[in-house]
C-alpha cells in the first residue's frame, strides 16, 4: 500500500503563500491520481484539488480556484500544492490521498474519505489576519 507524507505547512500572514508537498514514502504514484484535502477544526473534511497520473488533468474546488495550483514532480514521487493569497479561512490541516481506482475527474470531489486507500498524516496550515 502506498504511504504518503505531507510537508510544507506553517504559519503565514494573510495574503502570503505556501507550497505543500505530498511525497510517496512507500510504493509509487506513477499511475495514480492524487488529491489534496483539508480539514478545519469543527468542520468536515473538504476537497481542495486533484491531479491525474499524467498531470494532464487537474480540478479545483471553488475556494481554491485562481489561488492554488496543483502539480507533480517529474519523477512523479511528489505532488505539490502551491497556495497563494491565503486567508484565515484557509487555516486547516491539509492532507493528500490516493487510490488506484479513483481518477481525477469532475466527480473526484464526491468520493468519500473511506474510498481512498492511502492518506497522509497531514500538515498544518495557519493563516493569521
- What's the half-sphere exposure (Cβ side, CA atoms, 13 Å) at 79? 32
What confidence score (pLDDT) does residue 58 get? 98
**CA–CA separation, 63 and 57 (whole Å):** 18
122 three-class SS: coil
pLDDT in tens, the chain (129 residues): 899 999 999 999 999 999 999 999 988 888 999 999 999 999 999 999 999 999 999 999 999 999 999 999 988 899 999 999 999 999 999 999 999 999 999 899 999 999 999 999 999 999 999
63 three-class SS: helix
What confidence score (pLDDT) does residue 28 get? 87
The residue assigned the cell 505547512 is 9
Q: Which of 43, 10, 5 is nearest to 25 (CA)?
A: 5
What confidence score (pLDDT) does residue 1 get? 84
**Taking the alpha carbons of 1, 104, 9, 75 in that order, is the dihedral positive or negative?**
positive
Phi/psi zone of residue 110: left (φ > 0), alpha (ψ -120 to 50 degrees), beta? Answer: alpha
What confidence score (pLDDT) does residue 88 get? 97
Amino acid at each position: 500500500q502506498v504511504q504518503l507524507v505531507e510537508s510544507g505547512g506553517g504559519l503565514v500572514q494573510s495574503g502570503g503563500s505556501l507550497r505543500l508537498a505530498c511525497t510517496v514514502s512507500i510504493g509509487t504514484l506513477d499511475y495514480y491520481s492524487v488529491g489534496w484535502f483539508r480539514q478545519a477544526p469543527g468542520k468536515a473534511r473538504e476537497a481542495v484539488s486533484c491531479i491525474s497520473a499524467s498531470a494532464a488533468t487537474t480540478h479545483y474546488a471553488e475556494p481554491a480556484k485562481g489561488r492554488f495550483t496543483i502539480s507533480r514532480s517529474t519523477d512523479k514521487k511528489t505532488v505539490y500544492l502551491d497556495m497563494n493569497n491565503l486567508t484565515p479561512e484557509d487555516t486547516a490541516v491539509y492532507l493528500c490521498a490516493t487510490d488506484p481506482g479513483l481518477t481525477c475527474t469532475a466527480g473526484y470531489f464526491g468520493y468519500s474519505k473511506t474510498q481512498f486507500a492511502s492518506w497522509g498524516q497531514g500538515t498544518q496550515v495557519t493563516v493569521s489576519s
